[in-house]
Structure 1
Amino acid sequence: MKRLILALQLMTSLPLPSVKADDSDFAASIRWFPAAGIAVGGAAAMAMMLGMRAGPWVAALLALLAWVAMTGALHLDGLGDIADGAGAAHGDRARLSAVLADPHIGSFGVVAIMLQLLTKLVLLRLYAEQLAPWGLVPLALIARIGPLAWTLWLPSLHDGLASRFRQGIKRAHLIAWSALALASCVMLPALASAALLIPFWAWWLRSRIGGVSGDGHGAGIELVESALLAALVLAR
């Protein structure tokens, strides 16, 4: 339970009690990242249901606001940082590290975040007309299986948040959550596209960035979520 609370504290903005934890507890909290997706997806689904009383655009907007509020825009920040790094570094690893360490956001990051929000809004608008809101719950869960896989598959870009998780994750945890994700694909087969999306992001990070960091995890979650939304909409 302690590690679940740590995962929720890190991945959501839920008001939770503080818990006493050591480094091993923090590292093991990554095992519960997909569970945080249940909270995020549940909040977005409830907001969408409320918004449907006023129409699909309102439903989409409320769902997006709930999505961003529940994550505290944490993953959007990672997306902006990765966009700045990839856009400004031009293959220079030293320059890349400097850009990722810079707390300020550049033009690449601003554009990436704006496009991501617009993409999600439009896809949620289409989703609201075609599918039941509850489908956002397994979608958000599956997107957060990504960090488990990327931690296992990729080298750490630097000593930081992402590198600390390496000691807390094993293949058995990835397999267990993947089995649950597979079960949800029975009702929503398009979610199975995550089996391609998650490895693709790992390949992109390795080839363009050189490894994974907290920013890489956040950006990947955002992009996998949008891609899964698109898959669900297009599969109808």
Structure 2
Amino acid sequence: MKFHGVLFFPVTPFAADGSLNEERLAQHVESGVAAGAGGVFVACGTGEFHALSTEEIERATRVAVTTTAGRVPVLAAAGGPTPVARDQAARVGRAGAVIAWEHLRPAVEQDAIQVLLTDHHYWGGLRRTRELAAVCEAFGLALSMHSNSHLGISLAAMTHVAAVIPNLDHSCDTHYPWNFADDVIVPGALELRDGEVMVVTGPGLGVELDHDRLERLHRRYVDSGMRSRDDTGYMRRFRPEYQLRLPRW
């Protein structure tokens, strides 16, 4: 399975009564593929995986598979327990995913995945990510790379580790184009061009901390008063009547 371009993580839409809105999901998936998405991750973390029953995950996955009609790969239930991901993969003939070391052995034993999504933030750092790549090479698993909502220090680390993994044969993800204006490193070391980043040189990760920028961001954080994530409060800035209705929104 090969990915090319932007990977699409559609939100799972619900009707007013809380039921899965298959028609709206199909429209959402179609719009993403039409816009050039290189793969669809349905019923995953941003797709309300935690709020879906096994039956709903199956329905959402079938909608995605039917809508994409083989134009791009579809992955289902990534981010949840391996048995659930494996079950959905078996039902619709696609691959699931695992996101932690403790998931890897049962996934390999049950042939649950074909592509593993690495991320040095979650898999134990740069050295452990290289070890993970070696394990995947031994068992014939393909590799891709996820990114956090990161700034230049993290992207530099990600670039370095990606450069020393010969079997990283799928695209790497980054949120950097949306965040670089607030970066805390001296400009010029990292540049995205034609979907690529050159490996930076120099001591350490090859980037230099801009202490003035860091101070500005620190001051913004202090002045904001925000100490924890508050999605409900943010939504109420635009929709004062908004109510959080767990586990679906």
What TM-score does the superposition give when structure 2 sets the normalisation length? 0.25
Q: Which has the higher strand share?
A: 2
Larger radius of gyration: 2
Structure number with higher relative contact order (C-alpha < 8 Å, ≥ 6 residues apart): 1
What TM-score does the superposition give when structure 1 sets the normalisation length? 0.26
